[in-house]
Amino acid sequence: MPRLLPHVSSPGGVLAVAGAALLAYAALYASPYELRVLTVAGVYALAAIGFQIVFGLAGALSLAQGAFFGIGAYVTGILGSRYGLPFPVTFPLSLLLPFVLAVLVGLPVLRLESHYFALATLGIAQVVLLLAVNLPDLTGGANGLAGVPGIAAFGVEVPRGRPLAAAVWAAVAAGGLLAWWMARGRWGRALTLVRDDPLAAATLGLDVGRLRLAAFTVSALYGGAAGALAVHTQRVVSPEVLEFPVMVSVLTIAIVGGRGRVAGAILGAVLLLHLPEWFRFLEQSYLVVYGAALLLAIVVAPYGLTGVLERLLPPPAAVPVPPRAWAERERPAGTVLCVEGLSKAFGGVRAVDGVTLSLEAGRVTGLIGPNGSGKTTLINLVSGLERPDGGRVVLNGREVTGWRADRLARAGIARTFQTASLPAGTVLDAVTAARLDRDGSIAAAQAHAGHALERVGALHLGPRDGAALPAALRRRVELARALAREPAVLLLDEPAAGLTDDEKADLAARIAAVAAGGVAVLVVEHDMDFLLPLVDRVVCLDGGRVLAQGAPAAVAADPAVIAAYLGDAPS
């Protein structure tokens, strides 16, 4: 079917047309009252854009966006009405106070599980509301403060009506562009991985806590700005700006509009602020409408209105990325990783119990043992996903015991997971994530990711959806992702599980090639036909302890190993 408006069939085209329509409505048609609704919609759009960054991109359910909004409102309200300070002074301060609060609260709570984070941020909102009501000398108490000046700078005040609407929407445009620019770059990609798979993000060198903190503080800046503009619009500030409906509105706007999308925040705000106007008969019960819209969106359109629009538009053509090899480094030799007396207990279970082993550059070490013998836990300890109770880990002569996963990843440790999983999105994007902390641009990261995919024979999978791949291919992509880190140590947790014999032979050749490049490789595997020819040494664990280690043939013939493990192995 020929498209009548080919230039509209891109997201940018749709945005431009929608923006122009909104502009024409505001400039030519809207009544003073309608302009006011539109202005308030702009204020909420700004708050929701910030919320998209912390909730939509970073996946942290912050319930503090309403509080940041309210604090921004009170800073402008108090300084403007009590002290007569002008917009150029009050506006930056309305951003600064929420920012400082976000840093103070975010630092301790952002490493918590997400539901604790949500509770902690809800606590902020409650405390701030209580303060506002109970400090009447400062805040005007329950009545609030009237007589807040309008937006004015250099002696010129922005009058109400069209000029004020234009000023607020100019702020939305500027904030929206900034957020869009941040979201599409390396930072936005890192945040999305933190949202989709925080463990993988950490093992790919991303500091999950710091990224979440940054997203939270940016959301606070947007919230504060929106609150300040709200008060300039209303000319009064009262505890209403801190109450829960503000937060509910922002959350609804983000979800109905489309999680993580700047356009979703704008679309959602314009729509939800107009819903009560269109459904006048509901009067004060607009929260019911919001609740219904929220439920409807979650059930029918989980990616919101922008998600629906994106599905109607043709998908962007995949641009082929020319793979680019990274500069070969000097091949190391000798021992790269030493583990000495490493221990970890979970409650009464000694999962890893005084394990000592070392990995050599250019060599493949096999790690075998019955289920539950501590193989995965050992990899978790060495890659920083678990903290050891005792023992030492030494990497290239440097003690790294107890380091966080992202720091170990940056020091040269890469791993795959026993259950290979990839975030939704293209395979190329998934592997590109492994380069975000080291390549200067997305283009360079993609080119290096292409090279890593090529090395495992998976370049053709680049445009496919990683989450939808069969398990065997997911494992292969996960291996590419680990290789893209150019690791000194590569830890593979059952990489051959579920592969056919041909695929296993192919994987063995690729692992051998990686080791030949100077990487110290550890492979966990149950299939001895696959493992024994591949490895230079074998370590056998049983009950968290090293049962035997040495040359493959010697370990395979060890009576203790046969009794504990190989005797009942299928091969």
Contact residues toward Mg ion (CB under 5 A) are: 375-376, 418
**446 is a site residue for ligand ADP (CB under 6 A):** no
Any contact of residue 457 with ligand ADP (CB under 6 A)?
A: no
369 near ligand ADP, judged by CB under 6 A: yes
* Residues sharing a CB contact under 8 Å with residue 130, sequence separation 6 or more, in sequence order: none
Task: State yes or no: residue 373 binds ligand ADP (CB under 6 A).
Answer: yes
Minimum Å gap between C-beta 482 and Mg ion is 17
Q: Which is nearer to ligand ADP, 72 or 369 (CB)?
A: 369
Dump strand ranges (E) for 408-527: 413-415, 489-493, 520-524
Q: How many residues bind ligand ADP (CB under 6 A)?
A: 11
- Count of Cβ atoms closer than 10 Å to residue 335 Cβ: 15
Minimum Å distance from CB 527 to ligand ADP?
15
Position 113 contacts ligand ADP (CB under 6 A): no
Q: What minimum distance in Å lies between the beta carbon of 385 and Mg ion?
A: 13
Q: Which stretch binds ligand ADP (CB under 6 A): 31-39, 71-79, 203-211, 374-382?
A: 374-382
Tell me if 415 contacts ligand ADP by CB under 6 A.
Answer: no
CA-based nearest residue to 318, from 425, 441, 416: 425
Site for ligand ADP in 302-321 (CB under 6 A): none
- Based on the shown chain and the rule CB under 6 A, indicate whether residue 416 belongs to the binding site for ligand ADP: no
**Residues 11, 163, 245, 372: which binds ligand ADP (CB under 6 A)?**
372
The listed partner (ligand ADP, Mg ion, none) that binds 374, CB under 5 to 8 Å by sort, is ligand ADP
Instruction: Quote the CA–CA distance of 172 and 455 in Å, as a whole number.
Output: 45
* Closest separation in Å from C-beta 199 to ligand ADP: 12
Interatomic CA distance for residues 443 and 465, integer angstroms: 19
Does residue 252 interact with ligand ADP by CB under 6 A? no
**Which residue, 62 or 377, is less far from ligand ADP as judged by CB?**
377
Q: Residue 328: left if φ>0, alpha if ψ -120 to 50, beta else—which one?
A: beta
Instruction: Report how far Cα 177 is from the mean position of its chain's Cα atoms.
Output: 20
Q: What is the largest CA-CA distance in the chain?
A: 91
Under the binding rule (CB under 6 A), the answer on residue 289 touching ligand ADP is no
**Two tokens, residue 166:** 């234009």
Please report how close the Cβ of residue 470 comes to ligand ADP at its closest, in angstroms. 23
Residue 232 sits in the site that holds ligand ADP (CB under 6 A): no
Is residue 374 involved in binding ligand ADP (CB under 6 A)?
A: yes
- In the three-class reduction of DSSP (H, G, I as helix; E, B as strand; rest coil), residue 334 is classed as coil
By C-beta, is 94 or 203 nearer to ligand ADP?
A: 203
Q: Which two tokens stand for residue 224?
A: 């504060």
Q: DSSP per residue over 519-548, as a string?
A: -EEEEE-S-HHHHHHH-SEEEEEETTEEEE
Per DSSP, 244 falls in state H
Task: Give me the DSSP letters along 138-198.
Answer: HH-GGG-B------EETTEE--TTHHHHHHHHHHHHHHHHHHHHHHHSHHHHHHHHHHH-H
Between residues 237 and 566, which has the closer beta carbon with respect to ligand ADP?
A: 566
Only segment of 155-163, 252-260, 344-352, 355-363 that touches ligand ADP (CB under 6 A): 344-352
Taking the complex as a whole, the smallest distance from the CB of residue 351 to ligand ADP amounts, in Å, to: 3
Which does residue 358 touch among Mg ion, ligand ADP, none (CB within 5 to 8 A, set by kind)?
A: none
Q: Which is nearer to Mg ion, 372 or 463 (CB)?
A: 372
CB contact burial 116-132 (16+ within 10 A = b; e otherwise): ebbebbbebbeebbeeb
| DSSP letter (8 states) at residue 350 | E
> Nearer to Mg ion by C-beta: 215 or 414?
414
Q: Does 375 bind ligand ADP (CB under 6 A)?
A: yes
- 237 token code pair: 């500030």
Distance (Å, whole) CA 353 – CA 545: 5
The SS3 of residue 503 is helix
Instruction: Give the β-pairing of 364-368 and 349-360.
Output: unpaired
The one segment of 86-94, 229-237, 358-366, 372-380 that binds ligand ADP by CB under 6 A: 372-380
Q: Which two tokens stand for residue 513?
A: 């090639």
Closer residue to Mg ion, CB minimum distance, 104 or 471: 471
Identify the residue whose tokens are 């619009």. 233
Interface pick for ligand ADP out of 53, 246, 351, 489 (rule CB under 6 A): 351
Does residue 106 belong to the site contacting ligand ADP (CB under 6 A)? no
Element (H, E) at 234: helix 208-234
Neighbours of 374 (CB within 10 A): 27
Q: Which is nearer to Mg ion, 109 or 499 (CB)?
A: 499
Among 377, 383, 432, 549, binds ligand ADP (CB under 6 A): 377
Q: Is 346 near ligand ADP (CB under 6 A)? A: yes
Q: Does 181 bind ligand ADP (CB under 6 A)?
A: no
- The amino acid at residue 276 is P
Partner whose binding site includes residue 377, from Mg ion, ligand ADP, none (CB under 5 to 8 Å by kind): ligand ADP
C-beta atoms surrounding 134 within 10 Å: 11
Look up residue 7 and give its DSSP letter.
Answer: G
Give a three-class secondary structure readout of 30-59. Answer: CCHHHHHHHHHHHHHHHHHHHHHHHHHHCC
In the complex, what is the shortest distance from the CB of residue 349 to ligand ADP, in angstroms, rounded to a whole number?
A: 5
By CB under 6 A, residue 371 contacts ligand ADP: yes
Min dist. Cβ of residue 339 to ligand ADP (A): 14
Q: Which does 371 bind (CB under 5 to 8 A by kind): ligand ADP, Mg ion, none?
A: ligand ADP
CB of 71 to Mg ion, least distance (A): 48
Q: Exactly one of 37, 61, 119, 349 binds ligand ADP (CB under 6 A); which one?
A: 349
Cβ closest to ligand ADP, residue 45 vs residue 351: 351
Report in angstroms how near the CB of residue 359 gets to Mg ion at its nearest: 18
- C-alpha span between 381 and 141 (Å, rounded): 53
Look up residue 461 and give its DSSP letter: G
Asked if residue 376 binds ligand ADP (CB under 6 A), the reply is: yes
How many H helices and E strands in the chain? 23, 12
Query: Taking a C-beta distance cutoff of 8 angstroms, is the pair 255, 157 a contact?
Result: no
- Strand 413-415 and strand 489-493: pairing? parallel
Residues lying near ligand ADP in the complex (CB under 6 A) are found at: 346, 349, 351, 369, 371-377
